Amino acid sequence: MKRKAAYKIFLDKYGLENELIMAIEEMSELSKELCKYIRNYKSDNTPRKIEETERNIREEIADVLNCVEPLMDVFGAEEIERVRDEKLQRGMERMKS
């Protein structure tokens, strides 16, 4: 099944409010794993511990993308892409100065 079709099924079944809550939860889980990653590199953790955290980060990024991508359709994908491009351009201009 294609992602867009699956996203529509989830939105239709669970509703926008539940999907928004799920996105917030998944972003929180990603934040937690990113903090662990920083903490693991600042301490003397084993490579195995770091690998586990990296694996968890990949999982959480996938979860966040699966929550955010359908929200792009809800809130206007074309406008979001335009704003993303603007922000990237602004960042590039800041780097030059």
Q: List the CATH number of the domain containing 91.
A: 1.10.287
Q: Is 2 helix (H, G, I), strand (E, B) or coil?
A: coil
Question: Quick one: pLDDT band at residue 45, thresholds 50, 70, 90?
Answer: low
The domain in which residue 14 lies consists of 3-96
| pTM, two decimal places | 0.86
Number of structural domains the chain divides into:
1
pLDDT, tens only, 53-63: 899 999 999 99
Terminal-to-terminal C-alpha distance of the chain: 46
pLDDT, tens only, 59-84: 999 999 999 999 999 999 999 999 99
Report the distance separating Cα 76 and Cα 61, nearest Å: 21
